[in-house]
Amino acid sequence: MKILFRNGLLFDGRTLSGGKTDVLAEDGVISRIGTGLDDNGANEIYDLSDLIISPGFIDLHCHLRDPGQEWREDLLSGSRAGAAGGFSTLVCMPNTDPPVDNAALIRYLLEKGEECDGSRVVPAGCLSRERAGNNLAEMGKMAIAGAVLFTDDGSPVSNTNLLRLALQYSSRLGVRIMEHPEDRSLTLGAQVNDGICSTISGLKGWPSSAEASDIFRGASLSMDTGVPIHFTHVSTKESMNAMRISKASGCTVTCDVTPHHLCLVENMVISGGYDGVFKVNPPLRSVQDVDALWEGIRDGTVDAIATDHAPYHMDEKDLPFQESAFGIASLECAVAAILHEWKRRKDLCTLEKLLSLFTSGPASLLPEKWRTLGVIAEGSPADLTVIDPDFERVVDVSKWESKARSTPWNGRTLKGWPVMTVVRGKVAYKMPDHLSRVK
């Protein structure tokens, strides 16, 4: 199987070149990169004039609800949603039912993932047994089986000794620990950002310190053990400062931020009439916090953008705000939301910086064997994402591949969309009537 992509603007994972480039994918591997490549023998040829061809986007953090909560999402619907959203690789979170805390479930997810025709799915395993926060899960066996991260996401690892042991124990496994930063004693019953939103709504406030204090704790443990730690869905100005200080002092800490924390603000909870669609953990934050996250992208404090796609059934979301589930579904519009917001914040950072946070950034946080996913180079896997930076489209959640039927972006017109996703050398998604297939 040979696919030739002609005339694309090449983003190789680090830099965006101005000229037109051809990329040839052969049997799942990128075999040639150049100009005017010979199309001899190509099964399919696409003309990518004015479009960006990038390494396939990697989502470090999404919830595919499989096994056990398939009414919300499953591996197939999630994998197709991911491809439709421009992601060629999804890291699925282990807070399922039962939790993914053993090698058998890691193997189940990898095997089932192989059968899915959308994004490549690679699993994260739990840090603690039963995700209960008491004892180490069998991280060694899970690493051998193919787990790419260890996390109790959905919950922090509140027991500081356990987190320290996990860092020590995982040091030889080559699989990173990912912490959901939240001090639960500060967020009990909390629903919205502690600030304007909590003040006006009367809903209990979720203070920024609940996140920043956990980042400082984790950074301190990382310094102590010499083992890297990753913080996911970092959402506030204070947390960005915590990351900056920790990085500057030599801790091997990294973080990701989400599209909703980069594009939406706490006031939307109020202006939206307390619609549960705006409810998420951590909550939507202040304008200053959102600005600080973009500043973190600009100055390199942010290492990746991850969706935290958290699909729920409408019966769990369409409730009064306080009873609605925490979580925003976004796989199929996250990239567009980011590109749209980036344009709105003109010149804040370069496009290649932004694209690297979907590609080489997250790839560098995965185990060694997956890192070539983050680059376009001869010999690297043919996982590709094609972006049309000028295309406008309205988000219509009713047409999603995902089982989720609500998203804060529903009905919004966004500019800048992924129009094709290639996984293992096969076209996993192509926007209807958009790309011209030459052959």
Partner 1 sequence: MEWKQRHVLDLDTWKREELHYILEQTSSMDELLDRPIKKVPALRGKLVVNLFFEPSTRTRVSFELAEKFLSADVVNWSASGSSIGKGETLRDTAWTLEAMGADAVVIRHGAVGAADYLARKLKKSVVFNGGDGAHSHPTQALLDLYTAWKKIGSLERKKIVMIGDVLHSRVARSDIIGFSKMGSRVVLSGPPTLMPRSVDALGATYDPDPRSAVKGADIIYLLRIQRERQDEGMFPSLDEYHQIFGANESLLKLAGADTIVMHPGPVNRGVEIASNVADGSQSMILGQVRSGVALRMALLFVCLGGVRQ
For partner 1, the closer of residues 210 and 349 by Cβ is 210
The residue annotated as part of the active site, out of 308, 315, 383, 388, is: 308
For partner 1, the closer of residues 265 and 366 by Cβ is 265
Neighbours of 344 (CB within 10 A): 10
For partner 1, the closer of residues 123 and 205 by Cβ is 205
For partner 1, the closer of residues 204 and 430 by Cβ is 204
**Catalytic residue list contains 308:** yes
Mapping DSSP onto H, E and C, the string for the chain reads CEEEEEEEEEECCCCEEEEEEEEEEECCEEEEEECCCCCCCCCEEEECCCCEEEECEEEEEECCCCCCCCCCCCHHHHHHHHHHCCEEEEEECCCCCCCCCCHHHHHHHHHHHHHCCCCEEEECECCEHHHCCCCECCHHHHHHHCCCEECCCCCCCCCHHHHHHHHHHHCCCCCEEEECCCCHHHHCCCCEECCHHHHHHCCCEECCHHHHHHHHHHHHHHHHHCCCEEECCCCCHHHHHHHHHHHHCCCCEEEEECHHHHHCCCHHHHHCCCEHHHCCCCCCCCHHHHHHHHHHHHHCCCCEECCCECCCCHHHHCCEHHHCCCCCCCCCCHHHHHHHHHHHCCCCCCHHHHHHCCCHHHHCCCCHHHHHHHCCCCCCECCEEEEEEEEEEECCHHHCCCCCCCCCCCCCEEEEEEEEEEECCEEEEECCCCCEECC
- Least Å from the CB of residue 207 to partner 1: 8
The Cα–Cα gap between 198 and 27 comes to 54
For partner 1, the closer of residues 142 and 265 by Cβ is 265
For partner 1, the closer of residues 196 and 268 by Cβ is 196
Strand order, beta sheet including 176-179:
149-150, 176-179, 229-231, 253-257, 304-305
- Least Å from the CB of residue 353 to partner 1: 33
- Least Å from the CB of residue 326 to partner 1: 14
- Least Å from the CB of residue 323 to partner 1: 6
- Least Å from the CB of residue 96 to partner 1: 22
- Least Å from the CB of residue 276 to partner 1: 8
- Least Å from the CB of residue 258 to partner 1: 23
Binding site for partner 1 (CB under 8 A): 191, 194-196, 198-203, 205, 273-275, 315, 318-323
For partner 1, the closer of residues 119 and 201 by Cβ is 201
The residues that are catalytic are: 308
